[in-house]
């Protein structure tokens, strides 16, 4: 039976999905008609991101198959991924930005 899709993974490489509707804490993710075993750890507003994998502190957050920022703390599966636990690759940390580009080139 077809399940209402409630989250979108924009690229196979992504470690986050986008909530297509507001997800309640404990609600299971359904991506591409399949219910996953991933549930939201707290309310995720629609349009916001939810972690599909554990993302340790300092690791890359991948959306669109590209590096969109770095985890500023350990992120668990099902966590809300946003400004409280991710930062951009800002000017003051060029070294990591370089590393991020190099990784993408592989």
Partner 1 sequence: MLKTFEGYRRANGSIGVRNHTIVINTVGELAGLTKKLANLVPGVIPVVHQAGQSQYSEDSDQTIKTLTGTAGHPNVSAALFLGMGTEDPAEGIVETLKKDGHHVYSIIFDKKKSIAECLEEGKVWLKNALELSKQQKTEKADVSELTIGLECGGSDAWSGITANPSIGAFSDSIVADGGTSVLAETTEAVGAEHILANRAVNSEVGNRFLEIVKRYEQRARAVGEDIKAANPSPGNKTGGLTTLEEKSLGCIKKGGNSTLMEVIDYAHSPTEKGFIFMDTPGYDVESVVGLVAGGAQIVLFSTGKGSPTGSPIAPVIKIGTNPKLYKNMPEHIDVNAGKIIDQNYTIDQIGEEIYSKVLQVANGEITASEKFHNQEFSIWRLAETQ
Mask of contacts with partner 1, 25-64, x by CB under 8 A? -------xx-----------xxxxx-----------x-xx
CA angle centred on 89, ends 98 and 23, rounded to 5°:
130
Question: Please, which of residues 69-98 interact with partner 1 by CB under 8 A?
Answer: 69, 81-83, 86-89, 91, 97
Is residue 5 part of the contact set for partner 1 (CB under 8 A)? yes
Give me 17's structure tokens: 């999905």
Nearest to 24 by CA among 86, 80, 75: 80
């Amino acid at each position: 039976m077809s399940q209402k899709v409630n989250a979108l993974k924009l690229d196979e490489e992504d470690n986050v999905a986008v909530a297509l509707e507001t997800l309640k804490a404990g609600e299971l993710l359904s991506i591409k008609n399949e219910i996953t075993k991933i549930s939201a750890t707290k309310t995720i507003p629609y349009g916001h991101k939810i972690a599909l994998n554990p993302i340790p502190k300092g690791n890359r957050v991948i959306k669109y198959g590209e590096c969109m920022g770095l985890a500023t703390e350990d992120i668990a599966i099902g966590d809300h991924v946003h400004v409280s636990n991710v930062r951009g690759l800002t000017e003051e940390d060029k070294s990591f930005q370089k590393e991020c580009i190099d990784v993408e080139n592989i």
